[in-house]
Amino acid sequence: MERLEVTVDGMACAGCVTSVQNALTGRTGVAAATARLHDGLVTVEFDPSAIDRTAIEIAIEDAGFEVVPG
């Protein structure tokens, strides 16, 4: 397992946090996803043989949020 931390823009409420987490945990290869509202940080535990960073970022964006480059 690997761990990825990304900053996400557009999370404004607890419902947004849940949406991001659900978008990620529904993906094959994602073991866990935790989003923090106060700083926009999303931590993802994933199997790199099943999913990569790009697919994780696309899942976040498909849920209606923006991944902050960096």
- What confidence tens digit (pLDDT) does each residue in 4-61 have? 999 999 999 999 999 999 999 989 999 999 999 999 999 999 999 999 999 999 999 9
Domains and CATH numbers, the chain: 2-68 (3.30.70.100)
Kindly report the backbone phi and psi dihedral angles of residue 42, in degrees, each rounded to the nearest multiple of 5, phi listed first: -120, 125
- Residue 70 pLDDT grade (very low, low, confident, very high; cuts 50, 70, 90): confident
At 15 the pLDDT is 95
Residue owning tokens 């659900």: 22
pTM of the prediction? 0.91
**Helix, strand, coil proportions of the chain in percent (round to 5)?**
30, 35, 35
CA angle 51, 41, 68 (to 5 degrees): 75
